Amino acid sequence: MQLQLWQVDAFSDAAFGGNPAAVVPLEHWIDDGLMQRIANENNLAETVFFVRKEAGIYDLRWFTPEAEVELCGHATLASAWLIFDRLAPELNAIDFNTRSGVLRVERGEDGRHVMSLPTTAFAPFAAPEKLAREIAQALGTTAPREFFKSQYYLCAVWDDPADVRSIAGVGTIALVLAEIGSWGLIATAKGDAGYDFISRFFAPAKGVPEDPVTGSAHCLLTPLWAERLGKKTLRARQVSPRGGDILCTDDGARTVLSGPCALYMVATIDV
């Protein structure tokens, strides 16, 4: 069986920036195990598969190298770019049926498509002092000042953006997170260099040591920083080595993210 694959760099206007996603359109769903093996072989933070149901409506699923996940923003944006640019250029809006409900992406100006995702519920987390020390040791930086927790992610907040930028690696962070039932760590601080806030994201337990630009993390970060800064629309920068810019809007139950995409590769895979 041959399948087409597009590798698209999301949240970047040029190749080699933002977050790469492998996008695989299907005529019908294939075996779950095969999709997972394809994602593992691609070895990107995300491989996304979708099946067209009718004009403008698609079923969509996301896989890291290790597991299927509930939500991935950058691969959703990459899928929309492919449909708008190559597969169905007559469309101005797309509805994706996913594990996180219906996600709508609308065609934006200058290729900056606009994506509406469910806002992530989170709450302050009273982390033991030992946990803060272990996180600092694992990441090679100072201890964060405060924490918030969602169903899957721990969000750690630093006062100084330089502490987030200086994170050296993931170390033993997967073991530290497992102790509190989390598998992803968001590191964030108030922005610098003209940004409202900055962040990084780590999920080694899912085969993603550091994710370059993470849409799902911004479904928590956007309402957090919108409240603190007293503004609904914010400029965010994920300061991973590749890096990427996201325009974020807090719309209550929804978080609206927009950004460009760039095509890197078109390929055919034999499975």
Q: Which has more pLDDT, 128 or 21?
A: 21
> Which residue, among 122, 112, 47, has the nearest Cα to 84 in the 3D structure?
112
Burial class (CB in 10 A: 0-12, 13-18, 19+), 182: buried
Q: What is the per-residue pLDDT for 110?
A: 84
What values do phi and psi take at 130, rounded to 5? -60, -40
| pLDDT range class, residue 109, cuts 50, 70, 90 | confident
Residue 192 neighbours by CB distance under 10 Å: 15
Is the confidence at residue 117, as pLDDT, over 90?
yes
Give the phi and the psi of residue 50 in degrees, each rounded to 5.
-145, 155
pLDDT at 258 over 90: yes
Question: Where are the chain's structural domains?
Answer: 2-116+259-270, 123-252
Mean pLDDT of 123-134: 94
Assess whether pLDDT exceeds 90 at residue 17: yes
The reported pTM is: 0.93
Give the separation between CA 139 and CA 134, rounded to whole angstroms.
9
Q: Would the pLDDT of 50 be above 90?
A: yes
Which residues have a Cβ under 8 Å from the Cβ of 181 and sit 6 or more positions away?
A: none
How would residue 257 be classed by pLDDT, with cut points 50, 70 and 90? very high
What pLDDT score was predicted for residue 96?
98
Q: Residue range 235-250: average pLDDT?
A: 96
Q: What angle do CA 167, 158, 220 make, to 5 degrees?
A: 95
Specify whether domain 123-252 bears CATH 3.40.50.300. Answer: no
- Mean pLDDT across the stretch 175-193? 96
**b/e map of 32-51 (b: 16 or more CB within 10 Å)?**
eeebbebbeebebbbbbbbe
Judge whether 2-116+259-270 and 123-252 match in fold.
yes
Residue 91 gets which letter from DSSP?
-
Query: Residue 92 in contact with residue 106, Cβ under 8 Å?
Result: yes
Query: Which of 12-16, 78-82, 218-222 comes out lowest in average pLDDT?
Result: 12-16
Of 219, 150, 159, nearest to 185 (Cα)?
150
Q: Is the pLDDT of residue 40 over 90?
A: yes
> Which pLDDT score is estimated for 131?
92
Distance CA 132, CA 228 (A): 22
Q: Is the pLDDT of residue 194 over 90?
A: yes
The answer, yes or no, to whether residue 169 has pLDDT greater than 90, is no
Residue 71: pLDDT over 90: yes
Give the residue numbers marked as catalytic: 46
Is the confidence at residue 56, as pLDDT, over 90? yes
pLDDT over threshold 90, residue 37: yes
pLDDT for residue 111? 85
Domain boundaries 2-116+259-270, corresponding CATH code: 3.10.310.10
